[in-house]
Structure 1
């Protein structure tokens, strides 16, 4: 998702456009990896003196709920990235730096036959390990 798409979605859902929210969205739209609330706080502090973890977490939760960010848990901590919207795929996620690599094949193609009498409402498939730079 591009930053302008995210800001438009936020407005469509009835939420205010603020400089902080725009900066958060811009941060995630330029990062091609999962990032933590602490990473975001470090990015925001130089421009927003006194910004709190509460403000960071509140906005991360909102953006996740609205569909601007997606989340995963790495090493016992929640990480976020801008939501992918263009086509169905899954991710390899580096446990060290959070970088992601798109995986286009979907295990559901093989599993659906085993779940014929079930109503599948969604799924998530992630592979964790170390990227070439972190190995």
Structure 2
């Protein structure tokens, strides 16, 4: 639990540094994502937030998720035609890795191997400015 609070404290500091107000709702939203530790749909976040705070707009939830993704607190991916979000698994900007993502439950597993060295060799003279690599499939529990 202490490690989760450290993540939340760091996230709340990042929010403040980017001009966002620290609110109980934002803290609860981030805590929910830390505890889930998988990709979740905005609708699932909204349902949780409504159990905590009563009626809350889907647009508000989605906007916050998108904004938090833009400042690096969340990762986002498109699974089965729906945007899903998760708390960024590593706040250390120097730690580079990719993910295996379960298409059923959204759980992720870190992959430390990066295939970019292979692709760099295939693109002489090009400048790669960024990349994203995800492996999609079913985890052991969802087989």
Q: Fold-level match, TM-score > 0.5?
A: yes
> Does the 8 A contact of 2:38 with 2:108 survive in 1?
yes
Q: Which has the higher contact order (CA 8 A, sep 6+)?
A: 1
Post-superposition offset of 1:95: 0.4
Determine helix, strand or coil for the equivalent of 1:71: strand
Please identify runs of 4+ aligned residues in structure 1 that moved more than 3 A. none
1:50-129 equivalences in 2 (<5 Å): 50-83=55-88, 84-86=90-92, 87-129=95-137
Residue 3 of structure 2 corresponds to which residue in structure 1? none
With 112-121 and 14-23 compared, the bigger mean Cα shift is at: 112-121
Please state which structure has a larger fraction of its residues in helix.
2
Q: CA deviation at 1:10?
A: 0.6
d(CA) in 2 for partners of 1:35, 1:48? 19
Structure 1 position 12, deviation (Å): 0.5
- Considering only aligned residues, what root-mean-square deviation do their CA atoms show, in Å? 1.3
The two structures have a TM-score, normalised by structure 2, of 0.89
Unaligned stretches of 5+ residues in structure 2: 1-5
Any idea what SS the aligned residue of 2:140 has?
coil
Q: Is the 8 A contact 2:76 2:86 kept in 1?
A: yes
**Deviation (angstroms), 1:115:** 2.1
> Which residue does 1:32 correspond to in 2?
37
Deviations 1:64-110 (A, max 9, x none): 11111110000100000111333111000000000001111111021
